[in-house]
């Protein structure tokens, strides 16, 4: 039995869920998200909560889809009520960024050219009000927010010697000593 899959997903006030065959649409104060269920899974609306079930709990692949479908629906409910946010920090001498629009980011990260990145639909980019080297990426779709944040971080990941690059806020960068540490 899937421990995650069998838990019901509670719908808070102001969140509506509609089921049309294998497509689930969740609407809330921040927007609307839809999800197509994997094969062999079904969804039922009971007492203000969504319950996911599968055809055969003995089959491993169906159990995996059971937990996946439930987690995706829970992420959708949280996204349309609160939204998701990832913060990135740009560290390094001369490394900077410019938010050209809420969906366009221009990075100056040590290349001979500026790197322009367009956010996917539903994802917004904003600079921090207090710190000039922090980027906030927000939206209602958890997958899109995480994907775009990873894409931005992947343009210049932090290096272990000086710690320069783009990293998540609060991420620990494991530092190395360098080549003078081995000399005696």
- Which residues sit opposite 33 in a β-bridge? 26
Which of 134, 154, 137, 133 minimizes the C-alpha distance to 145?
137
Rounded to whole angstroms, the Cα distance separating 98 from 101 reads: 9
130-169 pLDDT, tens digit per residue, is: 999 999 999 999 999 999 999 999 999 999 999 899 999 9
5-38 pLDDT, tens digit per residue, is: 889 999 999 999 999 989 999 999 999 999 999 9
- Residues 144, 122 contacting (CB under 8 angstroms): yes
Q: Any idea of the CA torsion for 147, 152, 156, 157, to the nearest 10 degrees?
A: -40
* Mean pLDDT value across the chain: 92
72-131 pLDDT, tens digit per residue, is: 999 999 999 999 999 999 999 999 999 999 999 999 999 999 999 999 999 999 999 999
Q: What pLDDT is attached to residue 121?
A: 93
Which of 73, 75, 71, 78 minimizes the C-alpha distance to 12?
78
User: What is 84-168's CATH topology?
Assistant: Outer Surface Protein A; domain 3 (3.90.930)
Per DSSP, the three-state class of 111 is: coil
Go through the chain and tell me how many residues it has: 184
Domain residue extents for the chain: 9-81, 84-168
User: What is 9-81's CATH topology?
Assistant: Outer Surface Protein A; domain 3 (3.90.930)
37-58 pLDDT, tens digit per residue, is: 999 999 999 988 999 999 998 9
């Amino acid at each position: 039995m899937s421990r995650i899959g069998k838990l019901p997903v509670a719908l808070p006030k102001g969140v509506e869920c509609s089921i049309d065959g294998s497509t689930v649409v969740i609407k809330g104060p921040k927007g609307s998200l839809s999800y197509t269920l994997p094969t062999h899974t079904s969804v039922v609306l009971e007492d203000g909560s969504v319950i996911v079930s599968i055809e055969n709990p003995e089959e491993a692949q169906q159990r995996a889809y059971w937990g996946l479908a439930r987690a995706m629906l829970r992420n959708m409910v949280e996204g349309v009520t609160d939204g998701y946010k990832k913060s990135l920090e740009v560290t390094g001498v001369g490394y900077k960024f410019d938010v050209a629009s809420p969906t366009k980011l221009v990075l100056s990260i040590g290349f001979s050219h500026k790197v322009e990145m367009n956010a996917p639909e539903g994802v917004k980019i904003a600079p921090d009000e207090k710190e000039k080297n922090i980027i906030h990426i927000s939206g209602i779709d958890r997958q899109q927010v995480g994907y775009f944040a990873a894409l931005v971080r992947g343009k210049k990941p932090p290096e272990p010697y000086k710690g320069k690059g783009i990293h998540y806020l609060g991420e620990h960068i494991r530092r190395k000593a360098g080549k003078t540490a081995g000399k005696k």
